[in-house]
Structure 1
Amino acid sequence: MRAIWTGSIAFGLVNVPVKLYSATENHDVRMHQVHKKDGGRIRNQHRCEECGKTVEYDDIDKAFDDGEHRVVLTSEDFEALPAEDNDDIDVLQFVPSDEIDPIMLEKAYFLEPTSKTPKAYLLLRQTLEDTERTAIVKLTLRTRTRLAVLRVCGKVLMIQTLRWADEIRDVDFKGVNSKAKISDKELEMSEKLVESYSEDFTPEEFSDDYQVELRRLIDAKIESGESLDVEETFDEEDSEEDTGGDVIDLMEALRKSVDSSRSSKKGTSGKKSDAKKTSSKKSGAKPKKSTAKNSAPKKRTG
């Protein structure tokens, strides 16, 4: 990883020198545009509406236009902004962690301690953990002033930028104010359905199906060329099942969903146990019995 920002966390008279690294990366297959007729690469050009000439990136400025006034801002104008010179992550508040609404969260960054003695970094991390607090901070990142949260992620401090309050839209949908009556039976069945799907979240179990299939398609085209049979590459069993139209009876839908979820879980647990048996057979090891006797340490005989 490469650091994209260097500065320090400042709260009170305490300074914690850090480097900022992007915590996430894009796994999408990278593609570009080509001419359908001959496969030639399509390049974007910036063309001026006034003179009709193609303009190089270095000759482009930004402008604000409200319909009546146009204000052109040069790179020198942006560099003159006071926020440009700030190399501190300023702590504004420490708030209870559960007060941060996930809708406000944006991009995540890891913070690496850069001091030879990272005691202040470790102290801040321990304090946030023990108090179950999250710091609200302000920083300048890529010439923009950003509001962010500073929190603990495992052994690392991390920053997550926030949307500003006026960037969250206010909505008032008619449906959410409906006075449709929900019966006790429907609520009970709905809670059973939630319970049947309940388990610990393990993100590693999930994959981006679209990117997996896209990669599969690209590999198949490399191997077979343009004569590829798409239906053969993607079996019919991969397609979505027909749900049989809209469901009218809510209770019946809930009941069927609960039954379906239970049978699906039984099948999954069966597959997992079969996989364990197969793996133990391949390795030639006998499956261990997890009994209290087996787990107890054996006494040594002299």
Structure 2
Amino acid sequence: MHTMWKGTISFGLVNIPIKLHAATENKDIKLRQLHQECKSPIEYKKRCPVCDREVDHEEIVKAYEYAKNKFVVLDEEDLQALKKEQEDKAVEIMDFVKLEEIDPIYFERSYFMSPNEGGSKAYGLLRKALEDTGKIGIAKIIIRSKEQLAVVRVYQNTLLMETIHFPDEVRNVQEVPNVPEDIQLSKKELSTAVTLIDQLTAQFEPEKYKDDYRTALLDLIDAKRNNEEVTTAKDRPKPDNVTDLMEALEKSLEKTKGAKKKTTKRKTAPKTKKKTS
């Protein structure tokens, strides 16, 4: 299983070297966009609208837009230094709470935690302590250049870290439009609804729920492949030597135009007339 983060997590004076592994995976079927005419994959290029040209990766900087078209440019060196400063800190469990105290709206992504070298005993200690107390730990961690709030809990004999949203990342429910206030309901209506819920109540068995759309889409793709309803993208046309030469000449002209403006014209000496005898 791929390790996507490794470091140390602590509670009190106990330090546990750990590794994080993604606990879930996205199984969405990715569809490419093709040009209908020639069935070639569409490209997306980064272009500067002011300079009217494609921009290389080396020419791009990061910035924060604090007002319309007003930016604070952030150097990559500063960002990397800030990231390293935070990543070098041990992840500390700040509090222990009950799982049921956290509304599911806060939960984001799950990661399996495995002990790194020399961390098995401390790992087992935290796991057993969480099991016996029925509590989960609250910590903060830097993942992919973003500080995350996270919970540490036990899942099937394995420690699990689950990132959760900060409170200011959860939108105010009061802003949801058209939510009805108190609605007058008859006893019969409510009783019927409760009875229906009771009849449909079952134990949660995740294995019985399937992604029907993904299955149907894969069946459709397989059927088209079996019927040879496939297409092959055409090879990208290679520029000939004349095109390459013209591009090189045009770029050279652009560079020399700026240089010519900076240089002064050379003064030429006046020509002397020859004497006739």
Which band: TM-score by shorter chain?
Answer: 0.7 to 0.9
Contact 1:86 1:139 in 2 (8 A): no
Q: Which residue of 2 aligns with 1:71?
A: 72
> When you count helix as a share of all residues, which structure comes out higher?
1
Q: Which whole-Å CA distance do the structure 2 matches of 1:117 and 1:44 have between them?
A: 46
Larger radius of gyration: 2
Please state how far the C-alpha of 1:203 moved relative to its aligned partner. Answer: 1.0
Structure 1 counterpart SS, 2:140: strand
The TM-score normalised by the length of structure 2 is: 0.76
Q: Which residue of 1 aligns with 2:254?
A: none
Structure 1 counterpart SS, 2:191: helix
Superposed, 1:161-176 pairs within 5 Å as 161-172=163-174, 173=176, 176=179
> Which residue identity does 1:98 align to in structure 2?
E
Among 115, 133, 147, which residue is 1:131 paired with?
133
User: Residue 63 and residue 90 in structure 1: after superposition, are their counterparts in 2 closer, same or farther (change >3 A)?
Assistant: same
Q: Which whole-Å CA distance do the structure 2 matches of 1:25 and 1:47 have between them?
A: 33
Please state how far the C-alpha of 1:30 moved relative to its aligned partner. Answer: 2.4
Contact 2:151 2:164 in 1 (8 A): yes
Q: Which residue of 2 aligns with 1:33?
A: 33
Q: Which residue of 2 aligns with 1:267?
A: none
Q: Which residue of 2 aligns with 1:240?
A: none
Q: Which whole-Å CA distance do the structure 1 matches of 2:51 and 2:180 have between them?
A: 55
The worse-fitting range, judged by mean Cα deviation, of 196-205 and 218-227 is 218-227
> Which residue identity does 1:186 align to in structure 2?
E
Contact 1:4 1:22 in 2 (8 A): yes
Contact 1:147 1:163 in 2 (8 A): yes
Q: Which residue of 2 aligns with 1:185?
A: 188
Q: Which whole-Å CA distance do the structure 2 matches of 1:131 and 1:50 have between them?
A: 61
> Which residue identity does 1:130 align to in structure 2?
D
Structure 1 counterpart SS, 2:48: coil
Please state how far the C-alpha of 1:110 moved relative to its aligned partner. Answer: 0.5
Q: Which residue of 2 aligns with 1:56?
A: 56
Matching of residue 206 in structure 1 with residue 209 in structure 2 = yes
Please state how far the C-alpha of 1:4 moved relative to its aligned partner. Answer: 0.8
- Segments of 5+ residues of structure 1 without an aligned counterpart are 228-302
Superposed, 1:1-302 pairs within 5 Å as 1-65=1-65, 66-67=67-68, 69-81=70-82, 83-116=85-118, 118-172=120-174, 173=176, 176-226=179-229
Q: Which whole-Å CA distance do the structure 1 matches of 2:164 and 2:109 have between them?
A: 8
Q: Which whole-Å CA distance do the structure 2 matches of 1:196 and 1:20 have between them?
A: 41
After superposition, the CA RMSD in angstroms is 1.9
Please state how far the C-alpha of 1:31 moved relative to its aligned partner. Answer: 2.2
Contact 1:46 1:54 in 2 (8 A): yes
Query: Higher relative contact order by CA 8 Å / sep ≥ 6: 1 or 2?
Result: 2
Please state how far the C-alpha of 1:46 moved relative to its aligned partner. Answer: 0.6
The worse-fitting range, judged by mean Cα deviation, of 123-132 and 180-189 is 180-189
Q: Which whole-Å CA distance do the structure 1 matches of 2:221 and 2:3 have between them?
A: 33
- Segments of 5+ residues of structure 2 without an aligned counterpart are 231-277
Please state how far the C-alpha of 1:197 moved relative to its aligned partner. Answer: 0.8
Please state how far the C-alpha of 1:128 moved relative to its aligned partner. Answer: 0.9
Q: Which whole-Å CA distance do the structure 1 matches of 2:35 and 2:211 have between them?
A: 28
> Which residue identity does 2:61 align to in structure 1?
D
The worse-fitting range, judged by mean Cα deviation, of 131-140 and 61-70 is 61-70
Which stretches of structure 1, 4 residues or longer, exceed 6 Å deviation after superposition? none
Per-residue CA deviation, residues 213-250 of structure 1 (Å, 9 max, x unaligned), is 111111111122449xxxxxxxxxxxxxxxxxxxxxxx
Please state how far the C-alpha of 1:175 moved relative to its aligned partner. Answer: 5.2
